Amino acid sequence: MLRLVKPTKKYEKSWREAVEEFRKDSKTIKLWEVLGNPDDLDGIIRNARLHSQGKNLPAGWVPYDLLWMIDGDEIVGIASIRHGLTPFLFKAGGHIGYEVKPSKRGCGYANKILQLSLKRFEKLGIEKILVTVFENNVASWKAIEKNGGKLKNRVKVENEKDTTRRYWIKL
């Protein structure tokens, strides 16, 4: 059964395997590093808890929930569910960031991680979700469209090679 869970020591072995796999992949967006040193699982767990409460956030960040998507006992993806939008997130980051472990890409996990994440927004009371994706990430924008995403526009973001597609999903 696929589910989203908060970072926990229970999945330490799978976390370490996922980190190694992400490190070797050139297409990884580094979402897995968002909470600091990925080798410091205790720090990751602590920061995930504090950041979700709006505490000890880096300057300019909004509170967010970092969640792992688990299949059995294996971490197959990571989601960052942002509780609000900064001007940058409104333009190019959106309410959610998600990443599927490289060896699990192309297996439908992007669709499922987005689907499960949308349910979390209902609990936060956020009814209109902005999701962004690079133009060249066809699998991800297809998952967004499959989950009700309506393309608003495409924007060019400074220091990015690819155009960003901006979608809205109404819950």
User: Which among 9, 158, 169, 10 is positioned nearest to 88, based on CA atoms?
Assistant: 158
* CA angle in degrees (0–180, nearest 5) for 27-83-144: 45
Neighbours of 63 (CB within 10 A): 16
pLDDT tens-place string over residues 30-84? 655 666 788 899 999 999 999 999 999 988 899 999 999 999 999 999 999 999 9
**Biggest CA pair distance of the chain:** 41
Q: Which helix (H) or strand (E) holds 140?
A: helix 138-146
Q: Quote the CA–CA distance of 64 and 51 in Å, as a whole number.
A: 6
Q: Quote the CA–CA distance of 112 and 118 in Å, as a whole number.
A: 10
pLDDT tens-place string over residues 146-156? 999 999 999 99
Any residues with CB less than 8 A from the CB of 51 and at least 6 apart, and which? 35, 57, 61, 63, 64, 66
CA Rg value for the chain: 15
Judge whether residue 102 has pLDDT over 80: yes
Judge whether residue 169 has pLDDT over 60: yes
User: Which among 98, 102, 109, 159 is positioned nearest to 133, based on CA atoms?
Assistant: 98
Q: Identify the architecture of domain 2-170 in CATH.
A: 3-Layer(aba) Sandwich (3.40)
Return the pLDDT at 28. 65
